[in-house]
Structure formats: C-alpha cells, structure tokens
Structure 1
Amino acid sequence: MLAVLHRSVPDPRGWIRIDGDRTNPARHTAPAYPFDPPDSSELPRRLYPLEAEAAVAALAVMAEEWQSEPSPVRSRPDLNTVLADARTLLDRYGPTARYWTNATAAASDPAPDFVAAGLQGTGSHGFLTSEYLNGLDLLDDLGLIAVNDDEVGVFWSFGAY
C-alpha cells in the first residue's frame, strides 16, 4: 500500500495509471504528494478493517464534494447506481478481497454507515501532506484500501481549500 501511495509500483495488470499530479512541481518538495504516508509501523493505528459492503459505501461517498456538497450521495435519486458503480470497481479485487480505511468510524465497527454520514460527517486519520504547496491547502481525506492475493488498490478522496 505504501508503494502505491509513493507511486513506485506499476499496476499488476499493466493498466494505465491515472496520475494527475505526475508533473506537479509539488512532487519535488513532497515526492508522494498529495500524500505523506506514515511509516509502516503506524499503519495498524491509522487503518481499520471494513466489511465489503461498508467498503462499497465508503467508495460511493467519495463521489461527494468535501466543501458545500449540494447533494450528498444519500439524497441522490441515483444512489443505487452510485453504489453499483462502486461495487463494480471493487469487484476487480474478487470475493476474497480485504478492505481497510482510515475512517475513525471503523475503529469500533467494521460496517459503519458511510452513506448516512457522508464525507463531511466522516472523520479520519490523515494521510495527507501538511505542506502548503502551489496555493492548495489539503484538509480532509477519506481512504479505502482493497487487498487481494495479487494486488492492492488505493482509493482516496481529498478536501482542499
């Protein structure tokens, strides 16, 4: 997972990676930008296991905007479509996939209701850089990690000013 955050490994299926920050000069200051990944010894304190349907819900709410969300996923008429799309993405990892999140709601419950909470109601352990680079201040994040025997998927949502 850390190698994915640092973008130091290719997709195991050879799929093209979408990396909008690839040429961002912020990478010279913070190579994993926008992340500041913790040491591996910190991961057990910052990540919590999720049940599969909670992982789907976490990914679905990443479709929301962090600031001034006009229509949270929970109130959208296409809620079932958004959930189906999230399920399709996670199906790549197969039925034996395991999931983790940095959302603190999962610390005591592996099936928090992310859809009801929405992004703004979901606290998390930050994996973001604290560097103020290129006029962008990163404030909030929600991450989902999917793991199977062959690969790791990292999905993240950022709130910024």
Structure 2
Amino acid sequence: MDYGTMPDANGPPTPLDTYSWWSAVEMYDRRYTFVAAGPRSRDDWLHDVASVMRRETADPRAWRTVDPDEGEEETEDDPAHPFVVPPVDEAGAAEWRGRLTEIPRSAVGRLLVLLATLDLDVSRDPRFPAQRAEMEKHARVILTRFSGGARFFTNTRGGGASLDFSQQISSCSPISRYAWDLGLLWVSDEEVGLIWSFDPR
C-alpha cells in the first residue's frame, strides 16, 4: 500500500511503502538503534509510548521494525530494555515528559540522519561525506510517513545553534538506562513511534 510520495533531490518522487520503508530504516542496522511504532489509543500518548517500549504492540502498517535487543536475555527480565518507561503517576510522568523537547518538522530530517551516525556525531563519522546523500534520501522517506499534524520530540537541544543536529551534541536527557542516548519520538492521531539510538559505553 502506498502512503504518499516525497520529493527526491536526485530523481523522481520515492513512493512510501513497505519496501521503501525497509530500505530507509536499514541505515540504523549499523548501530544500536530501536525503530518501532504502535497505534495511538489514548489522549495521553505516554501510555502508548510505554507500550511500544515494552514491545507490546505491532507496527500499525505491519512495516519493518529494528530491534537489536530482540530475543536477548535483558528483554526477558525487562521487556522495555533498555528504555526507562514513563511512570504512571502524574508527577513521575511530568518529570519524564520534561526530558523531551518538541521540535519542528523542518528539524526532523537532520535528526534522523544524526541518529544513524557513528558516535551519534555527524562531524566524527568518517563515512558521512560519502554516504550523506543516501542517508538524507532515507531520512526524507522516513519523514514522509508522518502526517501533517504529527508532533515530534527529542531529548536534546542539538549542538551549536539551537536544534542544529549537524553539529556535535553536547548534552541530552536520557530516557534509557544508559548515560547517553538520542532519538525521535513522533505522535500523530493514528500512531506513536520511536527511532532511538543508544551509546552503552
């Protein structure tokens, strides 16, 4: 099923379907990144995000997920590993939500590229100059999945100028058991999803 098209800087529009999505998220196979979506069932979308973290839901479109911890012993003990799920109490949920920064759609493409780089740093990834065009193409495909009314959140303000994800990131507010992680959380009327990269060092 085709869910829309996107402009491609180097050719005709790329249809968004199960095959182009598979190819696009494949760039996250090279590092420790979790990619998954689930249906939105509540006004308070934190509950739906927690379900995605616990691997309790399937992608609403039955498209590919990326889960490097699938089948690992850690997820048997804690289905949400390595995430720290949002608390259910009001104060705890507010604190967890406070780790996130809402970002405009215009900033999402660069963030998606950043999340696929080595060390989560565009400037330190020796592959980036040669692979930049391909990575940006994949990011545009992923971005097309998100409806016009979707909201986007991350856990950093970016590096250099605010929300500049092409610069080295100097700080983040982790939502995992690791000291450093960066990611994209998206929320639409139909679904919620995570593209989240971890540095377990």
> Structure 2 length as normaliser, TM-score?
0.63
Q: 1:56 to 1:67 in 2, by over 3 A?
A: closer
Secondary structure (helix, strand or coil) at the match of 2:94 reads helix
Partner of 1:60: 113
Q: Which amino acid aligns with 1:49?
A: E
Q: Percent identity?
A: 28
Name the residue aligned to 2:103: 50
- 1:64-143 alignment runs, 5 A limit: 64-66=117-119, 69-71=124-126, 73=128, 76-105=129-158, 109=162, 112-117=163-168, 121-129=169-177, 138-143=178-183
Matches of 1:72 and 1:15, distance apart in 2:
27
Output one character per residue of 1:61-98: Cα deviation in whole Å (capped at 9) or x when no partner. Answer: 1121118944274xx14434322211211211122221
> Are the equivalent residues in 2 in contact too, given 1:50–1:101 (CA < 8 A)?
yes
| 1:107-149: CA deviation from partner (whole Å, max 9, x where unpaired) | x95xx110123xxx242111112xxxxxxxx431101012221
Name the residue aligned to 1:132: none
Given the superposition, is the C-alpha separation of residues 17 and 87 from structure 1 closer, same or farther in structure 2, using an over 3 Å criterion?
same
Distance in 2 (alpha carbons) for counterparts of 1:19 and 1:79 = 24
CA–CA distance in 2 between the matches of 1:60 and 1:105?
Answer: 13
Q: Which amino acid aligns with 2:156?
A: A
Establish whether residue 27 from structure 1 lines up as the match of residue 75 from structure 2: yes
Runs of 4+ displaced beyond 6 Å: none
**Worse-matched range after superposition: 34-43 or 44-53:** 34-43
Residue matched to 1:146: 186
The answer to whether the aligner puts 1:157 opposite 2:197 as a matched pair is yes
Aligned-residue RMSD, C-alpha: 2.5
Cα distance in 1 for partners of 2:101, 2:135 equals 23
Kindly indicate whether the alpha-carbon contact (under 8 Å) linking 1:90 and 1:146 is maintained by their aligned counterparts in 2: no
Q: Matches of 2:112 and 2:146 in 1, distance apart?
A: 14
Secondary structure in structure 1 of the residue aligned to 2:112: helix
TM-score (norm 1): 0.76
The letter of the residue matching 1:20 is P
1:9/1:23 CA distance change after superposition, 3 Å? same
Call closer, same or farther: CA 1:67–1:41 in 2, change over 3 Å.
closer
Hey, what's the Cα distance between the residues in 2 that align with 1:105 and 1:5?
A: 24
In 2 relative to 1, CA 16–59 (structure 1 residues): closer, same or farther, beyond 3 Å? closer
Distance 1:140 1:17, change over 3 A: same
Q: Which segments of 5 or more consecutive residues in structure 2 lack a partner in the other structure? A: 1-48, 88-92
Distance 1:78 1:20, change over 3 A: closer
Q: What is the number of equivalent residue pairs in this alignment?
A: 145
Task: Give structure 1 stretches of 5+ with no counterpart.
Answer: 130-137
